């Protein structure tokens, strides 16, 4: 047996309460393990711990497994009657049987030895207060990300000095185009027509730049975008159309004109805000240059974005109050935390507890580009932006040498990193204001829609970046932040693209299997780059997704009801073709 490939612990995503009744238990093994059984029961079933009674437990086979690149991931759901559970595993290869306990592996003979103190895995208590609870509505949501300055300028907006004329094509970070809150509000009927049910807004609080990630005043809507009343009107109208609103919170750092930072520059160590930041050299703190010299910490090395000390209690309370006001004044539905992996865990725990008491179904989303397990234990974020999935999808379409199994391993990795509660509300995206636009990566509409087919059939919630509905192009930042070409939307080409997006979104909303956590890869076809997976809803209905990523056409079985297709005719899925259908 390959002992080095076997791992389990009673924490994080390997053993956790799904709800007050169900306990999820996951085990990782090598491919040599063919069958797994779990022996489980109440820790006190045979008496108190330390007594002379022999504990046995109930034996059940674990049947569900996912394939990772080098390992298998086994999953079972237990229902402990008394909210406690004690267990160990029975592992079978072709020739061996071993028993896996907290302290290692035993043979049958060793396990049955009189007097041996078997160190079982133990979940002592499924305390309701410790269960990771995420807002159910997020799984039903299709998000639309808006970069406010470039989305739409309201019809009644007055001409203003310093505002660049709206145009298509490339842009710079220095240009301001005048998109505003009224412009967004005027387009709510358009977004509703697309099928959008959630808007994620890049920062709208007062700041110097057009991107607004250098906040000057967290208590004021940026005058370039509008007023408090206009934002209230936007949220209220969005809610009337069944659309939720999520705002961007830039709490890792501020802008150079944030009042506490100005006070620090003036008074140095004597400032009341001296500990609000992370300053190491007071003599050179005013110097304008990147911060590689370590005089103070900042976002990246940008001296105009000094890093806030989110360990400081005053900073924590300040931002708790800021978020509280956003909820009370505007009735927002979610908060996305910029640079969400650099603010302190202490800060996040306190702000979550404070805000969830106000609005229990508030969605707390972290911007984290890597494995975010330590932030998703139920006491900080509800979810994170699923950049690992985005990267994995991109790399598979980029690297034609990768076979379909690599796609399976990638998806399974992404959905075995976290608890099911978090997976259910994962923020899935294919591009954003921080990345090259999806269409510009391959400049191929067929590949573009293949990737969107994956986005709309994965667990979690799907987000499209403004303009994706017309396959808008754009390179890396700042080119990904082009102006929305409203004057071009009526063209027959763009109307066709909009209709395709409407169809994908409608399928996502109508088919429970699209949003479901349950999927597997049957690999019925021998083609090395014909991706195939089955999504299942809780009633057992099946949805089949086929993506022909190979160089030649593939004949597929003619069965089920076609919900979405591209380059599919008479049972033949052509090169770069997509097929999504209900299974009979």
Question: 95-114: per-residue pLDDT in tens?
Answer: 999 999 999 999 999 998 98
CB 199 within 8 A of CB 246: yes
Among residues 360, 478, 221, which one has the least CA distance to residue 352? 360
Distance CA 576, CA 566 (A): 8
558 catalytic per annotation:
no
- Mean pLDDT, range 575-580, rounded to an integer: 98
Catalytic residue among 90, 222, 303, 338: 338
Give the residue-averaged pLDDT of 517-539.
94
Of 503, 501, 506, give the one whose Cα is nearest residue 489: 501
The yes-or-no answer on residue 338 being catalytic is: yes
Q: Counting beta carbons within 10 angstroms of the beta carbon of residue 292, is it exposed (0 to 12), middle (13 to 18) or buried (19 or more)?
A: exposed
Cα distances from 335 to residues 26, 299, 311, 332, 366, in angstroms, run 31, 20, 20, 8, 9
Tokens for 257, please give them: 């004109």
CA-based nearest residue to 179, from 195, 198, 165: 165
Domains of the chain plus CATH, in order, are 1-128 (2.60.40.10), 134-251+309-509 (3.20.20.80), 252-308 (3.90.400.10), 513-581 (2.60.40.1180)
DSSP character at residue 100: E
Q: What is the structure's pLDDT at 51?
A: 61
Query: Tell me, what's the pLDDT at 117?
Result: 85
Q: What is the dihedral of CA 227, 228, 229, 232, to 10 degrees?
A: 130
- The CA distances from residue 356 to 62, 133, 324, 362, 437, in Å, are 36, 11, 10, 7, 34
What interhelical angle do 313-330 and 228-240 show, nearest 10?
60
HEC secondary structure over 183-199: HHHHCHHHHHHHCCCEE
State the pTM of this model. 0.96
Q: Which tokens belong to 584?
A: 């009979």
Asked if the model's pLDDT at residue 156 lies above 70, the reply is yes
490 burial (CB, 10 Å; 0-12 / 13-18 / 19+) is exposed
Task: Label residue 375 left, alpha or beta by phi (over 0 means left) and psi (-120 to 50 means alpha).
Answer: alpha
Q: Is 535 helix (H, G, I), strand (E, B) or coil?
A: strand
The residue from 214, 333, 367, 431 that is catalytic is 367
Please report, in angstroms and rounded to a whole number, the separation of the first and last CA atoms in the chain. 40
Asked if pLDDT for residue 177 goes beyond 90, the answer is yes
pLDDT digits (tens, 9 = 90+) for 348-395: 999 999 999 999 999 999 999 999 999 999 999 999 999 999 999 999
Q: HEC profile for 538-583?
A: CCCCEEEEEEECCCCCEECCCCCEEEEEEEEECCEEEEEEEEEEEC
- Please check the confidence at residue 535 and state whether its pLDDT lies above 80: yes
Token output for 104? 């290692």
d(CA 105, CA 90): 10
Q: Where are the beta strands (DSSP E) in 30-71?
A: 35-41, 58-62, 64-67
- Among candidate residues 99, 117, 122, the one with its CA nearest the CA of residue 25: 122
Give the Cα separation of 150 and 173 in Å (integer): 11
Q: What is the CA radius of gyration of the chain?
A: 26
- Which ranges in 36-142 belong to alpha helices (H)? 108-111
What percentage of the chain has pLDDT greater than the value 70? 99
pLDDT (tens digit per residue) in 65-75: 999 999 999 99
Strand partners for 186 = none
């Amino acid at each position: 047996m390959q002992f080095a490939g076997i791992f389990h612990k009673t924490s994080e995503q390997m053993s956790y309460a799904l709800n007050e009744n169900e306990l999820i238990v996951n085990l990782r093994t090598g491919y040599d393990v063919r069958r797994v059984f779990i022996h489980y029961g109440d820790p006190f079933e045979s008496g108190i711990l330390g007594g002379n009674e022999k504990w046995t437990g109930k034996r059940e086979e674990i049947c569900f497994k996912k394939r990772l690149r080098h390992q298998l991931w086994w999953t079972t759901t237990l229902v402990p009657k008394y909210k406690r559970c004690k267990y160990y595993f029975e592992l079978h290869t072709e020739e061996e049987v071993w028993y896996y306990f907290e302290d290692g592996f035993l043979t049958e003979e060793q396990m049955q030895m009189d007097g041996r103190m078997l160190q079982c895995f133990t979940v002592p208590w499924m305390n309701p207060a410790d269960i990771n609870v995420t807002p159910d509505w997020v799984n039903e949501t299709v998000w639309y990300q808006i970069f406010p300055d470039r989305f739409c300028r309201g019809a009644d907006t007055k001409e203003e000095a310093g505002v660049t004329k709206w145009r298509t094509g490339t842009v710079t970070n220095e240009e301001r185009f005048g998109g505003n809150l009224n412009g967004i509000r005027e387009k709510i009927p358009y977004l509703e027509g697309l099928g959008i049910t959630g808007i994620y807004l890049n920062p709208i609080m007062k700041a110097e730049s057009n991107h607004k990630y250098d906040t000057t005043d967290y208590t004021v809507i940026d005058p370039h975008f509008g007023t408090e009343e206009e934002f209230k009107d936007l949220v209220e109208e969005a809610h009337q159309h069944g659309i939720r609103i999520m705002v961007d919170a830039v709490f890792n750092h501020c802008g150079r004109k944030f009042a506490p930072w100005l006070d620090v520059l003036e008074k140095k160590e004597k400032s009341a805000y001296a500990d609000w930041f992370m300053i190491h050299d007071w003599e050179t703190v005013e110097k304008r240059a990147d911060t590689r010299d370590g005089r103070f910490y900042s976002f990246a090395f940008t001296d105009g974005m000094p890093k806030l000390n989110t360990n400081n209690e005053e900073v924590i309370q300040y931002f708790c109050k800021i978020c509280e006001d956003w909820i009370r004044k505007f009735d927002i539905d979610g908060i996305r935390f910029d640079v969400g992996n650099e603010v302190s865990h202490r800060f996040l725990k306190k702000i979550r507890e404070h805000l969830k008491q106000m609005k229990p179904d508030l969605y707390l989303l972290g911007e984290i580009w890597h494995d975010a397990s330590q932030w998703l234990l139920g006491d900080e974020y509800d979810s994170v932006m699923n950049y690992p999935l985005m990267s994995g999808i991109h790399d598979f379409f980029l690297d034609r040498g990768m076979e379909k199994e690599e796609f399976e391993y990638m998806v399974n990795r992404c959905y075995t990193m976290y608890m099911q509660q978090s997976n259910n509300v994962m923020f899935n995206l294919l591009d954003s204001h921080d990345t090259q636009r999806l269409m510009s990566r391959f400049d191929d509409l067929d590949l573009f829609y293949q990737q969107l087919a994956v986005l709309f059939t994965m667990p979690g919630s799907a987000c499209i970046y403004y303009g994706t509905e017309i396959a808008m192009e754009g390179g890396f930042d700042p080119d990904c932040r082009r102006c929305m070409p409203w004057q071009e939307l009526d063209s027959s080409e763009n109307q066709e693209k909009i209709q395709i997006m409407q169809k994908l979104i409608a399928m996502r909303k109508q088919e429970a299997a699209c949003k479901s956590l349950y999927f597997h890869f049957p690999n019925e076809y021998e083609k090395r780059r014909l991706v195939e997976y089955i999504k299942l809803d809780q009633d057992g209905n099946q949805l089949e997704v086929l993506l022909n990523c190979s160089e030649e056409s593939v004949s597929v079985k003619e069965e089920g009801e076609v919900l979405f297709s591209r380059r599919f005719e008479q049972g033949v899925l052509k090169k770069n073709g997509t097929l999504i259908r209900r299974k009979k």
